Structure 1
Amino acid sequence: MWFLVPERQDQAVASLFNKHSYIDSVVNGECTTIGYARKSLSNESKSVRLRLLESMTSILVDPCRCSKIFVTPLCNANSPLLERDLKRSPLTKDVRHAHGDMQDLISYVKTSMRPIRLVVIDYAGLTTSPQDLLTFISSLNLVMFVVVYHGHRFESFSRENLLKDISFKAFAYRKAPIRRSRQLLFHEQL
């Protein structure tokens, strides 16, 4: 077992729980912060699916501070990002805080006048296909950052690093299914 020397403890805590630095970057930054949530195909009822999506959108509102949130109510993590929601789901308009689906997100980014910071809950909240993420980022020139919220910290990937294949491998797989709608419970315990 090891311990950090007192001089390094503050630095370690700041890197593990970086909410304040993230909020500062949102408030003082030049980027528009938008969120994206998706719900996998499963056997939940419509009301349960809606409740889970609303839990995720609530997390994207606070603590993630997203000004607009887009949702895909029925989609697996490995489905192509640019092809999601080509057939519109009526459930999207019922989700509180949602401004549309993936096709609306794409339209919003393509018509934006400001750089975009895209926030998701967990890697699989966006995709589990690194090649698809590369295609998505390449086609949307204004997405400058992809931020992954892990419940206690924010992990930011710059466009430059994603396009250079430096950091997108984190999206390649996941160890176990993450309950993105329950990240708020973890956040509230901190």
Structure 2
Amino acid sequence: MITYGQACCLVLDLEPTKENRKRAKETLAQVSLGATYLENNGHLEPIALSESKIGKNPYKYRRYPSTPPSSPVSSDIEDTVSDEVEQSSVSSSSSEEDAAPENYSTQGILKMAKLLFTKDNIDTTDLYDKKWLTTQDIFTSLAIQLPRLSSVMTTRQLGLLLSKHHDHFGSPIRKRVNGKFVHCRELFHLKECGNNVIEDDYALFLSHIRASDGDWVNVGYVRKSPGEELPSTRARLITCMAERLKKRCHCRKIFVSDGSTANEPILARDADSGPTSYDGNTQDMFSYFTTKSKKIRLCVIDYAGFSTDPDDIQKTMKLTRSIKELVVLHPHRIEMFTRMELKQESILTKFKCRTGPVHRSKYSGVARNRSSFV
């Protein structure tokens, strides 16, 4: 039987070195996924599923041991340090059986809190609710995702952490609720539909990446429309979008078009622009494509993050042969299109969609449309 760390490496297509085992476990833990296997398939065929789903059906989804069965403590095959991110061994009498391998460090808790809550206005009301929340309310919501939260942090400590990051969570104010004065924050809270963070369908995208033949590279493209925001605000929003593409789509390169419109010809964008953040602008991206022999999986946020002009998309794909797949990150799902599919009118029509402003910097990218990966 292979160990949990080795299984995580197989899921993410990494060589099972000590460093990669730790990295793979942390990567899955950050998005509330765990490595599991089906008995019929055997333990050498691991898959990634949400921890909640694994815990609810332990008869179907089997867990991997932390260390090899022959070594109850450790061995040179697995990490010598046991931490809270590590998956517990399967034991019918163990209370740790259903424990999830989330990252319970301060940074791990903060990442989860930022995913669930933000003070910034969000137009996508199908994904977030606007609420007045006390620190206890926030703690309770976090505990749903992090069941062992109360063992590593108190409500008071969480309140101090939120206050330290007031630029994201805002500052608490004194407000009368049900006849009593309480300190609370007005926040946008990720709805229950999005709370299966990073549901098992996200694992299908990971599996697709792993199963892809040839030399592939995932490239992220962030487009920010012209606006009157402060430079610091624009930079923060661009960073949010870039980090979401890195985290959800595993992009190795990020190119940014700061100040282009959704219907502007893609190949002409940033022709007169100077240096930009990350790996360059649109022109730098296409220069990168022409110098690389790898297959490109181009990842964008929302259809308009690429273009709202179907004819221009066809032209771009025709002139850029190295783009083999286009991945579109939505609030609730990830869509993926091959070059051939982008020739179909029914697919291209989806991109002619812009009806109003969309806050792409807030997208969680929970993959829910299984057909996108079949």
Q: TM-score, normalised by structure 1?
A: 0.81
**Cα offsets for 1:151-186 (capped at 9, x unmatched):** 2311011101113444111111223321000114x7
Distance 1:141 1:50 in 2: 31
Distance 1:17 1:25 in 2: 13
Match of 1:44 in 2: 229
> After the TM superposition, which residues 1-190 of structure 1 pair with which residues of structure 2 at under 5 Å, given as runs?
18-29=201-212, 30=214, 31-90=216-275, 92-93=276-277, 98-184=278-364
Distance 1:54 1:21 in 2: 26
Aligned length: 167
Distance 1:50 1:76 in 2: 17
Match of 1:5 in 2: none
Three-state SS of the structure 2 residue aligned to 1:50 is: helix
Distance 2:330 2:225 in 1: 18
Which 10-residue stretch deviates more, 122-131 or 156-165? 156-165
Three-state SS of the structure 2 residue aligned to 1:141 is: coil
Three-state SS of the structure 2 residue aligned to 1:18 is: helix
Q: 1:124, 1:171 within 8 Å by CA — same for their partners in 2?
A: yes
Distance 2:224 2:284 in 1: 17
Which 10-residue stretch deviates more, 173-182 or 73-82? 173-182
Which 10-residue stretch deviates more, 111-120 or 160-169? 160-169
Which 10-residue stretch deviates more, 132-141 or 161-170? 161-170
Distance 2:207 2:274 in 1: 35
Distance 1:76 1:28 in 2: 35
Three-state SS of the structure 2 residue aligned to 1:62 is: helix
Q: What are structure 2's unaligned runs of at least 5 residues? A: 1-195, 367-374
Match of 2:16 in 1: none
Higher helix share: 1
Distance 2:334 2:294 in 1: 22
RMSD: 1.9
Distance 2:348 2:224 in 1: 21
Q: 1:68, 1:99 within 8 Å by CA — same for their partners in 2?
A: yes
**Structure of greater Rg:** 2
**Cα offsets for 1:1-45 (capped at 9, x unmatched):** xxxxxxxxxxxx9xx963111112223423211110011011111
**Cα offsets for 1:105-131 (capped at 9, x unmatched):** 101111211111100000000111001
Distance 1:60 1:53 in 2: 11
Q: Which amino acid aligns with 1:52?
A: L
Distance 2:323 2:235 in 1: 27
Distance 1:125 1:38 in 2: 5
Q: 1:151, 1:183 within 8 Å by CA — same for their partners in 2?
A: yes
Q: What is the percent sequence identity of the aligned residues?
A: 35
Q: Which amino acid aligns with 1:84?
A: R
Which 10-residue stretch deviates more, 66-75 or 20-29? 20-29
Q: 1:137, 1:159 within 8 Å by CA — same for their partners in 2?
A: yes
Match of 1:3 in 2: none
Q: Which amino acid aligns with 2:303?
A: Y
Q: Which amino acid aligns with 2:261?
A: N
Q: 1:17, 1:153 within 8 Å by CA — same for their partners in 2?
A: no
Three-state SS of the structure 1 residue aligned to 2:250 is: coil
Q: Hey, which bits of structure 1, 4+ residues long, moved more than 3 A? A: none
